[in-house]
Amino acid sequence: MAHLHRIVHGVSRVGAIVGGAMLMLAAIVICVDVTMRYAFARTLGGADELSGYALAIASAWGFSSALLSRSHIRIDTVYVRVGSRARATLDLLSLACFVLFIALVAWHGWGVLQQSWVSGSRSMNELETPLVIPQALWVAGLVFFVAVALLLLVRALPLYLAGDLRRLFDLIGSKSAVAEAEEEIRAIEHAIEGERKP
Amino acid sequence: MTVAVSLIVLLAVLGSSIAVAAGMGITGLILNQLYSPLPLTRVMGELAWATTNNFILTAIPFYIMFGEILLRSGIAERMYSALIQWLSWLPGGLMHSNIGACALFGSVSGSSVATAATIGVVAMGEIDKHKYNERLFLGTLAAGGTLGILIPPSINMIIYGVMTDTSVPKLYLAGFIPGLILTVLFSLTVLIACLWRPHWGGQKVPTNWEARIRLLPDLLPPLVLLMVVVGAIFFGIATATESAAVGIVGALAITAWRRRLTLAMLIEVCEATVRTTAMVVAILVGAFFLNIVIQTIGLTQQLSRLITAYQLTPVQVLTAVIVLYLVLGTFMEELSMMISTIPITTPLILQAGYDPVWYGILIVLLIQTAMVTPPFGINLFVIQGIRGRGRLSDVEWGAAPFVIALLLMIGLICVFPEIAMWLPRLVG
Q: Which residues pair with A122 in a beta bridge?
A: A130
A73 and chain B in contact, CB less than 8 A: yes
Residue range B235-257: mean pLDDT, rounded: 88
- Whether A55 and B249 lie within 8 Å, measured CB to CB: no
pLDDT greater than 80 at residue B166: yes
pLDDT greater than 80 at residue B343: yes
Phi, psi (deg, nearest 5) at residue B149 = -95, -10
pLDDT in tens, A81-133: 889 999 999 999 999 999 999 999 999 999 999 988 988 888 777 777 888 89
Instruction: Supply the pLDDT for residue A144.
Output: 96
**Residue B326 to residues B88, B243, B341, B371: CA-CA distances in angstroms?**
33, 33, 13, 10
**Residue B267 to residues A13, A71, A142: CA-CA distances in angstroms?**
10, 18, 22
Residue range B167-179: mean pLDDT, rounded: 91
pLDDT in tens, B20-66: 899 999 999 999 988 887 788 888 888 899 888 888 889 889 988 99
Burial class (CB in 10 A: 0-12, 13-18, 19+), B187: buried
Instruction: Supply the pLDDT for residue B248.
Output: 93
Its sign, for the CA torsion B226, B230, B236, B239, is positive
- Count the Cβ atoms, other than its own, within 10 Å of residue B43: 17
pLDDT greater than 70 at residue B192: yes
> Mutating which of B46, B49, B141 best tests the A interface, going by the most A Cβ atoms within 10 A?
B49
B67 and chain A in contact, CB less than 8 A: no
Most confident range, picked from A63-67, B257-261, B385-389: A63-67
B70 and chain A in contact, CB less than 8 A: no
The average confidence (pLDDT) of chain A is 88
Q: When comparing pLDDT for B283 and A129, which is higher?
A: B283
- Whether B382 and A181 lie within 8 Å, measured CB to CB: yes
Residues of chain A with Cβ-Cβ distance to B382 below 8 Å are: 181, 184-185
Instruction: Supply the pLDDT for residue A197.
Output: 46
Contact (CB, 8 A) for A127 and A29 = no
Distance from CA of B356 to the nearest CA of A (A): 26
Q: Which residues pair with A130 in a beta bridge?
A: A122
- Whether A97 and B386 lie within 8 Å, measured CB to CB: no
Say which range, B13-22, B355-364, B402-411, has the weakest mean pLDDT: B13-22
Contact (CB, 8 A) for A186 and B268 = no
φ/ψ bin of A36: left (φ > 0), alpha (ψ from -120 to 50), beta (otherwise): alpha
Does the reported pTM lie above 0.90?
no
- Comparing alpha-carbon positions, the chain B residue that sits nearest to A137 is B49
Q: When comparing pLDDT for B27 and A77, which is higher?
A: B27
Tell me: cis bond preceding B206? Omega within 30 of 0 counts.
Answer: no
Please state the separation of Cα A55 from the chain's center in Å: 11
The average confidence (pLDDT) of chain B is 89
Q: From CA A6, how far away is CA B5, in angstroms rounded? A: 43
Q: From CA A129, how far away is CA A120, in angstroms rounded? A: 10
How high is the ipTM of this complex? 0.91
Distance from CA of B342 to the nearest CA of A (A): 17
| SS3 category, A130 | strand
A24 and chain B in contact, CB less than 8 A: yes
A165 and chain B in contact, CB less than 8 A: no
pLDDT in tens, A165-191: 988 998 898 887 777 778 878 877 877
- Whether A73 and B283 lie within 8 Å, measured CB to CB: yes
Contact (CB, 8 A) for B361 and A62 = no
Confidence of residue B14 (pLDDT cuts 50, 70, 90): confident
Contact (CB, 8 A) for B240 and B56 = yes
pLDDT greater than 50 at residue B324: yes
pLDDT in tens, B98-154: 999 999 888 888 888 888 988 998 898 888 888 889 999 999 999 999 999 999 888
Instruction: Supply the pLDDT for residue A193.
Output: 67
- Whether B245 and A185 lie within 8 Å, measured CB to CB: no
**Residue B299 to residues A29, A197, B165, B328, B369: CA-CA distances in angstroms?**
43, 58, 19, 21, 28
- Whether B21 and A101 lie within 8 Å, measured CB to CB: yes
Q: From CA A24, how far away is CA B200, in angstroms rounded? A: 45
Could you give the angle at the alpha carbon of B236 between the alpha carbons of B235 and B239, nearest 5°?
130
- Comparing alpha-carbon positions, the chain A residue that sits nearest to B117 is A185
pLDDT in tens, B369-381: 999 998 888 899 9
A98 and chain B in contact, CB less than 8 A: yes
Distance from CA of A80 to the nearest CA of B (A): 10
Smallest Cβ–Cβ distance between A13 and the set B20, B232, B271 belongs to B271
Helix axes B418-427 and B168-196, enclosed angle (nearest 10): 140
Confidence of residue B428 (pLDDT cuts 50, 70, 90): low
Q: From CA B111, how far away is CA B378, in angstroms rounded? A: 12
